Structure 1
Amino acid sequence: MATAGNNTSVPSACCLLVSLFLCLLVYAQAHRCSHQVPKPNEVVHGVHIEPAHIVKKRSLDQPLRIHLVYDSSIEQLSTEKKDLVKNVLFPRAKEFLQNTLYVRGTGVPILLDRQCQTGHAVILENDPHLCCETACNVTTRCGEVQVPEEHLRQCRVWTHQTGCNLVGNPSGPGVASADFILYVSAKQTDRCGVDDTVAYAAYCQLEAALDRPVAGYANLCPNVISTKPHEFASLLSTVKHEMIHALGFSSGLFAFYRDENGNPLTNRSANGKPVFNDQRGVYQWSDRVIQEVTYPEWHVRGGRILQHKVNVIITPKVVEEIRNHFNCPDLRGAEIENQGGAGTEWNHWEKRLLESEAMTGSHTQNRAFSRLTLALMEDTGWYRANYDMAEPLLWGKNLGCDFAKKSCKYWIDSQTQKGELVAPYCNTVQQNPLQLRCSIDRVSVALCNLQNYGRPIPEEYQYFDSIPGQDNTALQNYGGGVALADYCPFNQEFNWQSDGVFSRASNCDTAENAPSDRDNFALEYYGQDSKCVEQGSAWTKEDCRQRASAVDWGSGCYQYRCTNEGLIVVVAGKEYRCYRKGQELSVAMVKGSWLHTGSLVCPSCEEMCWDNLQITCPAEIDPPNLSTASTRPQVPCGTIQSVSESPGRTATLGMLFLNLIPLLVGILLCNTP
């Protein structure tokens, strides 16, 4: 085999094309939450804490105080899981919510009421305490947890002869210096047995003055609690998500929301509660909380325009925030989820419009607890929000009324006609080679989740008149991999698997997700100071005997720095300045015994530095014309490393598409029976 004297010429016979990743790629599981609204007999209403006239006079200036009570089941977990639950997950979620929400402070210890045996209590004139009709339950439960005796008021039972009587154990001391009690358990319940449910939560007792939840529960399913580093962010987000359901974001509580003066937004019946809707299993809210809206220009395939009916939350702060987010001043309100069945629909934001908002109905990638969710919590009438704690939400930001009111087909088609990017949506089906992309917030390497379902999806969600490289007679079968997003396709983070076993994830901020040195053709870097950058070409690595090229390419994770002079992308320790979006960075450097060559495409400074409030991105300019021809390193001639072609390439891609099919359903985090 001949080689050139300067060691930079490589004979074609030695050039090997290899796949950058030699294992199966599947989209990260679209974890779906089906928040179960508690049944009427599982919730105690009218718990007397303090007189209403005193509570209503208080300002919303007391930081929310959450008291965590760990059930004995937590002690049955492995040491590693117990430490994660008690010392990390719930303390961090508690800290976040206590820094985010303010309440009218509770001036006395919280004493919870005992559950009535029949589920019915008598309300007496001039007596603020509930009185059970026949008897109190022997035990009072909050979700999966038996409430401790010291947290309970003495049982009160009504008789026609003697009125309301105290019976049984005396009242306990209650829970002092708290505004909300959360009972935390780890029990492998029947709900845990459905589709790998990880956690579920709800409220169990509401106070009398303003109907605010004062007690709730969260159960983590022990068999699926993960201590793996790549799953920590998702698990913490899930705990926060569930706690917010228990605090107020629940269709079971919409009818109890109040205005800023503490007055109910929904009329009350003679028993002091709203009318119960037996069909939905919730107390029926008024049109001051939710209204139905019809969007008349819902474009679908074949040139058809349908009417699209949605339900929107129209409370004041929510309306203000949703209009500001989309830059659409005439939006009626914020859409709530219309799919997913009981527990998912009505209980979350619409996935199509707010994909990565933490209170949407499924977790597909990096979730943000945005100003919108904080606005809803404020509009309950129970809290004031600290908007400094809101996390940035890039999805749909400032994209206008067409994005907010029309189908993703209209957006994709109009952007394509203008020669502009269709982001945050996408329109490519994965094929050989894989086209790696970046998530909208650049925190992950991503793939477009457009797929063929093998059967027609609902007509209302058929968006494509043509798809390059696909059979145009089967276009009715194509849609995005997350049904809750109205089948709109978007770039989604994913996992690498080998022989069905997790290998690594694609989010950039986790060091454990880095490829091995052998597979790191493009000199990627994973860590807290890393984000996704598009690649301008397939990367290669070579020595004087052979060259290996990455087949799957398009984006990767790279270290970066945000400065007032502009964006700096760091590749294997070398800094490259990005002067403008679209600028190509040519890279050629020796690492180990290989010369790595390739290119990156600069994003804008704003796209990478959106979460850095300390710098101001400069105006874009053309980069200086610097020649790099004389600085290209020589090809190394060290020890020859073994490189082979990717085995089973066709099978790998076939498995990729087979693994997309279950994403329609997702894996439940919180289950509905």
Structure 2
Amino acid sequence: QVVYQVPLKENHVLKRNVDQQLRIKIIYDRSIEDLLPEKRHLIKNKLFPQAISSLEKTFQVRKSTGTILLSRQCVTNQYLRRKADPHRYCRGACADYTRCGPVVVPEKHLQQCRVCNENEWHCGPTGVPDQEGVRDADFVLYVSALTTERCGHENIIAYAAYCQLEAEMDRPIAGYANLCPNMISTQAQEFVGMLSTVKHEIIHALGFSAGLFAFYRDDDGKPLTTRYADGLPPFNESLGLYQWSSKVVHKAVRLWDVRGGKMLHHAVYLLITPRVVEEARKHFNCPILEGMELENQGGMGTELNHWEKRLLENEAMTGSHTQNRVFSRITLALMEDTGWYKANYSMAEKLDWGRNKGCDFVMKSCKFWIDQKRQKRQLISPYCDTLRSNPLQLTCRQDQRAVAVCNLQKFPKQLPQEYQYFDNLNGVPAEELPYYGGSVEIADYCPFSQEFSWHLSGEFQRSSDCRIIENQPDPTKNYGAEKYGPNSVCLIQKSAFVMEQCRRKLSYPDWGSGCYQVSCSPQGLHVWVKDTVYLCSRSGQVLTVSIQMNGWIHVGNLICPACSDFCDFCPPERDPPASNLTRAAPIDLCSCSSSLVVTLWLLMANLIPLLTGLFLCA
């Protein structure tokens, strides 16, 4: 239950003063204390402090000067308002407890109970007076870790929402974030993803929610949606939301290419507030774009509450976490267009997906894009058309920071006609083509290269993000001589790497890319494989690798990326020097060199005392 039009204790908002940093006060529910110590420490000492710090640096607020005191909920959920009185009155009685989502709000955060009797003749305050409230805060966030019904839904890590809005500007002043206890991961490899999820959920509570669209205001503080006499917008019963105006969300119809040469009408909803339009047009390089498309799939909670996944794949405010979430200028623009915040755009993260792809990318189906690129014999990136198979054919994520695999797969049922994109696929009979699409439904089934993770008996082992040092593979399974860490990137392998030892040869069936350390120099981009450095003189150059590691020879070929992909300053591309073209002298681990013999004798000498000891104790 959301409470609207909550008066602040000093009911005054400085509409012009938008240069004050957002202040978020965290209140931890008792359920946080009941978690295992490592999970409690993660939430209270790392996740939420870091998330709040980042958001407070990103947003400034139209400053409220009053203490936050929340309105009490009513026993019957029926309440009344009196003329010239900012408070709401419960019919009959106030509820024993007031909740914000699943959390019981502390008594000290609540206003005095105000009630009207059954015939509404007598109304007034009752019970304990106004409590102390929450001082020096613009938003109160109640954080819990309760196993709720919603946590039973597949892959739900956390969820959040607003619960009370202030009266003057309709800005949310209280909300909650609930983390599902069984989904809280303390593994270092998953921290960045968990942090992104927490920030994502708090942004929903602060303003990016379909239920708040009707309450957005312009730069002068005027509502973008017409209000009734009671100060609220019209309510849409079918949506269960207050109905926004055409100044906020616009419905459009796209001409949508599908398989068989057909074209359908595809309805979309776009957020069309001024800064969002400006940032979306700049990002896609499409001057006729009406706004930024909202998600049209995923059901309640996802639909309309996120950016369209097909167009902003790894933007943090899309409806699912696939990889490398970033909070882009488009999301910051939306928060500014609420009328409640000013954004610090230096905190925006770079979004590569869709950048400068043009109007055909952002206003047409992915089939149109793929077909156009094929006809021109160009890469179909950011989409892909390689079937996900066993063994895996590995590639790189679009930003070249993770090993990836194309998520094109066969579904058990035919996809809806508007999401059937392929007239042909290598090795797929024509009658089966309607069953094929990308694995992410909310990306309109468009296939793209996606990072992944390795699991053993259902337990997470590591992900394919090159920058996370904990993802380093076990030495016995590091066929490609890979190196994970903050300076590592994904490189394409021209052939499968082979591990050789005497007459033994091992290779890994899943190949195509790997993670390798790189560095920049005046000569160009350097690729490091173990302690050997290779110079990339031009994009597409083949590096012949032969190095010794852990008693094995690792042999393979890597393809150089463009120096400009990773370095700010690069020399002109040129043919590599002859030394870079010749194969390194083969290393022979089977030769009986004197050093090897000495090492073996030393090993035997060290073993003798141990063997003697065993015999004496027999």
Q: Does 1:151 align with 2:104?
A: no
1:178 to 106, 131, 137: 137
Q: CA deviation at 1:137?
A: 1.3
Unaligned runs of 5+ in 2: 593-618
Conserved in 1, the CA contact under 8 Å of 2:10 and 2:66? Answer: no
1:350 aligns with 2:308: yes
More deviation in 223-232 or 558-567?
A: 558-567
Query: Aligned in 2, Cα 1:382/1:627: closer, same or farther, shift over 3 Å?
Result: closer
Match of 2:162, SS?
A: strand
Among 231, 244, 252, which residue is 1:285 paired with? 244
Q: Deviations over 1:295-346 (max 9, x none)?
A: 12x1111111222211100000100111011000110010001111111111
Runs (5+) with no aligned partner, structure 1: 1-41, 610-614, 640-673
Tell me: CA distance 1:391–1:586, structure 2 relative to 1, closer, same or farther (3 Å): same
Query: Does residue 1:90 correspond to 2:34, yes or no?
Result: no
Q: State the identity as a percent.
A: 55
Q: Are 2:140 and 2:173, in contact at CA under 8 Å, matched by a contact in 1?
A: yes
Q: Which residue of 2 aligns with 1:59?
A: 17
1:185-196 paired onto structure 2 within 5 Å: 185-196=144-155
> What do the CA deviations read for 1:619-649 (whole angstroms, capped 9, x no partner)?
434333335547424221279xxxxxxxxxx
Using the size of structure 2 for normalisation, the TM-score is 0.92
Q: Deviations over 1:68-102 (max 9, x none)?
A: 00011111001000000111111111011101110
Give the number of equivalent residue pairs. Answer: 591
Aligned to 1:211: 170
SS at match of 1:518: helix
**What is the TM-score normalised by the length of structure 1?**
0.85
Question: Are 1:198 and 2:151 matched, yes or no?
Answer: no
Counterpart secondary structure, 1:411: helix
Matches within 5 A, 1:329-344: 329-344=287-302
Letter in 1 for 2:160: A
With over 3 angstroms needed to count, the CA separation of the structure-2 counterparts of 1:135 and 1:518, relative to structure 1, is same
Structure 1 pair 521–162 and aligned structure 2 pair: CA distance change class (3 A): same
In structure 1, C-alpha distance between the alignment counterparts of 2:132 and 2:583, rounded to whole Å: 80
Establish whether residue 625 from structure 1 lines up as the match of residue 583 from structure 2: no
Q: Deviation at 1:455?
A: 2.2
Deviates more, 1:152-161 or 1:479-488: 152-161
Cα 1:619–1:268 change in 2 (3 A) is farther
Farther off after superposition, 151-160 or 589-598 = 151-160
Flag the structure with larger Rg.
2
2:328 is aligned with 1:370? yes
CA distance in 2, matches of 1:519, 1:180: 49
Partner of 1:386: 344
One-letter identity of the residue aligned with 1:624: P
Residue 617 of structure 1: how far off its partner (Å): 4.4
1:481 aligns with 2:434: no
CA contact (8 A) 2:281 2:289 kept: yes
Match runs of 1:311-460 below 5 Å? 311-460=269-418
Q: Which residue of 1 aligns with 2:462?
A: 504
Q: CA RMSD, aligned part only?
A: 1.9
For 1:60 and 1:302, the matched residues in 2 are separated by 54
Per the alignment, in what secondary structure is the counterpart of residue 197 of structure 1? Answer: coil
Task: Label 1:519 to 1:638 Cα distance change in 2 as closer, same or farther (>3 A).
Answer: farther
In structure 2, what residue type is equivalent to 1:623?
Answer: P
Which structure would you say has the larger RCO, counting Cα contacts within 8 Å and 6 or more residues apart? 1
**Secondary structure of 1:166's aligned partner:** strand
> Amino acid of the residue matched to residue 245 of structure 1?
H
Q: 1:527/1:630 Cα in 2 relative to 1: closer, same or farther (>3 Å)?
A: closer
Q: Residues 31-80 of structure 1, C-alpha deviation per residue, up to 9 Å, x if partnerless?
A: xxxxxxxxxxx11111111677x424332111100000001111100100
The amino acid of 2:447's aligned partner reads P
Work out whether residues 9 and 69 of structure 2, in 8 Å CA contact, stay in contact via their aligned partners in 1: no
Shift of the alpha carbon at 1:163?
4.8
1:258 aligns with 2:217: yes
Conservation of the 8 A alpha-carbon contact between 1:593 and 1:638: no
Q: What is the SS of the residue equivalent to 2:473?
A: coil
Conservation of the 8 A alpha-carbon contact between 1:251 and 1:346: yes
Give the counterpart letter for 1:539 in structure 2.
F
Tell me the SS of whatever aligns to 1:253.
helix
Deviation at residue 390 of structure 1 after TM alignment? 0.7
> Aligned in 2, Cα 1:145/1:311: closer, same or farther, shift over 3 Å?
same
CA offsets per residue over residues 146-190 of structure 1, 9 Å max, x none? Answer: 111111111122357875422111211111110000000111112
In 2, are the aligned partners of 1:590 and 1:636 still within 8 Å (CA)?
no
Partner residue of 2:590 out of 632, 637, 641? 637
CA–CA separation in structure 2 for the residues paired with 1:485 and 1:599? 34
